[in-house]
């Protein structure tokens, strides 16, 4: 308890006015990283708690739990939080380095969860370099009497989540596990939104691909496939951790909360199947585009070959008469020139109609 008080003294009292930043954020060692914190008792935020140290003391005495939100903290700031709550060094290292796969790990009574967040990047027109899916990360430390969220990336926001939960005290009353579920539910709901937006892009690119000269859009298909793979990397690895949360026996996760986790897992499975179908569909579209390229090349080659065959006839006749022999019987005929031109024209016409009937021209 003494160590907790010593570390906690780096924070001063919170500001009282609305929108006024707490003094402990401005002068404390979590400056620039601490987004918000609060003590929750029986599902209600205790506004009578005037200091961070007091909130910690009450939480450690079993009088509710503390929820702390951090954004891109430094390793030193994470070390302070780790000392406060006894967090495992390996989990702290993962929380600092970011770029982790979605996972769920258990360190004693503390759960450490990593979520990949995604957001759809609006664009007027899909190009070969368009960014469609942007990602971020949210790490959650969930233990007896505390929840610590660590966000990385501009697209890792949990906008309004705390306020939504505060309007549902019956959920917060179940403890830190309710916050963990709310974050998981928020992340998976964003997956659903992004998947629907990507579906619209795929429909557009599929329509454009099967138009004349649609194979020119192959670079756009490839770029969209890369973005779908980015979405897949966020969704697919989360299925194992989410299934574990829905079945895990842990004092922080009430039986009622497990039911909510099962619902989130169901939504995640639906998104996963949808993303896999996106990947397969784009692969099929890409193959169709490559097939179109081959067909177009074959058609061009047939067209060139047909014109070469047509032009070969007058070239051959002109070549014969250009050999300048003295004794060529046709040279002295009065209408030989017009006869030869007529033969050339007739031969070319016959070949042209033949190739046209066989769809070579």
360 in Cβ contact with 304 (< 8 Å): no
What's residue 27's pLDDT? 36
Of residues 45, 54, 14, the one with CA closest to residue 30: 14
- Vertex 190, ends 185 and 191: CA angle to 5°? 95
Model pLDDT for residues 70-97, shown as the tens digit of each residue: 999 988 889 888 888 889 999 999 998 8
DSSP states of 56-117: HHHHHTTS-EEEEEEES--HHHHHHHHHHHT--HHHHHHHHH--PPSEEEEETTEEEEEEEE
**Mean predicted confidence (pLDDT) in 37-57:** 84
Residue 267 has pLDDT above 90, yes or no: yes
Q: How confident is the model at residue 302 (pLDDT cuts 50, 70, 90)?
A: confident
What's residue 28's pLDDT? 59
Model pLDDT for residues 7-41, shown as the tens digit of each residue: 333 333 333 333 333 444 333 577 778 888 889 99
What's residue 15's pLDDT? 33
Model pLDDT for residues 141-196, shown as the tens digit of each residue: 999 989 999 999 877 788 788 888 899 898 888 889 999 999 999 999 999 999 99
Residue 253's SS3 state is coil
313 dihedral zone (left: phi>0; alpha: psi -120 to 50; beta): alpha
What mean pLDDT, rounded, does the chain reach?
Answer: 83
Q: How confident is the model at residue 54 (pLDDT cuts 50, 70, 90)?
A: confident
**Mean predicted confidence (pLDDT) in 197-223:** 83
> What count of other Cβ atoms lies within 10 Å of the Cβ of residue 150?
27
Model pLDDT for residues 95-151, shown as the tens digit of each residue: 988 788 899 999 988 999 999 999 998 888 877 788 889 999 999 999 998 999 999
Beta bridge partners of 142: 111, 147
Distance in angstroms (rounded) separating the CA atoms of residues 72 and 157: 12
Distance in angstroms (rounded) separating the CA atoms of residues 246 and 188: 14
Residue 151's SS3 state is strand
Q: How confident is the model at residue 220 (pLDDT cuts 50, 70, 90)?
A: confident
**CATH 1.20.58.340 corresponds to the domain 297-357:** yes
């Amino acid at each position: 308890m003494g160590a907790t008080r010593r570390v906690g003294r780096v924070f001063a009292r919170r500001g009282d006015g609305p929108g006024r930043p707490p003094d402990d954020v401005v002068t404390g060692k979590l400056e620039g990283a601490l987004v918000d914190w609060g003590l929750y008792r029986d599902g209600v935020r205790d506004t009578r708690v005037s200091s961070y140290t007091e909130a910690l003391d009450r939480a450690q005495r079993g009088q509710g739990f503390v929820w702390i939100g951090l954004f891109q903290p430094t390793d030193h700031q994470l070390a302070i939080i780790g000392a406060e709550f006894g967090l495992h060094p390996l989990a702290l290292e993962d929380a600092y380095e970011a770029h982790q796969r979605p996972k769920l790990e258990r360190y004693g009574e503390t759960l450490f969860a990593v979520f990949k967040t995604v957001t759809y990047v609006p664009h007027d027109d899909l190009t070969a370099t368009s960014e469609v899916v942007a990602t971020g990360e949210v790490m959650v430390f969930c233990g007896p009497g505390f929840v610590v969220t660590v966000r990385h990336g501009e697209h890792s926001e949990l906008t309004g989540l705390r306020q939504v939960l505060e309007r549902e005290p019956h959920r917060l009353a179940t403890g830190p596990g309710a916050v963990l579920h709310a974050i998981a539910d928020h992340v998976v709901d964003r997956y659903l939104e992004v998947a629907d937006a990507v579906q619209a892009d795929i429909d557009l690119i599929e329509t454009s691909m099967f138009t004349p000269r649609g194979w020119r859009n192959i670079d756009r298909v490839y770029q969209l496939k890369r973005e779908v793979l980015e979405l897949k990397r966020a969704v697919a690895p989360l299925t194992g951790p989410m299934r574990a949360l829905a079945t895990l026996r842990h004092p922080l996760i009430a039986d009622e909360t497990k039911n909510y986790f099962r619902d989130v897992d169901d939504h995640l499975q639906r998104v996963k199947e949808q993303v896999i179908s996106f990947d397969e569909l784009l692969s099929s579209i890409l193959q169709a585009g490559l097939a179109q390229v081959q067909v177009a090349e074959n058609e061009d080659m047939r067209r060139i070959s047909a014109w070469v065959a047509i032009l070969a006839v007058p070239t051959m006749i002109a070549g014969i008469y250009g050999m300048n022999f003295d004794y060529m019987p046709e040279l002295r005929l009065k209408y030989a020139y017009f006869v030869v031109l007529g033969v050339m024209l007739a031969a070319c016409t016959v070949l042209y109609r033949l190739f046209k009937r066989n769809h070579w021209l």
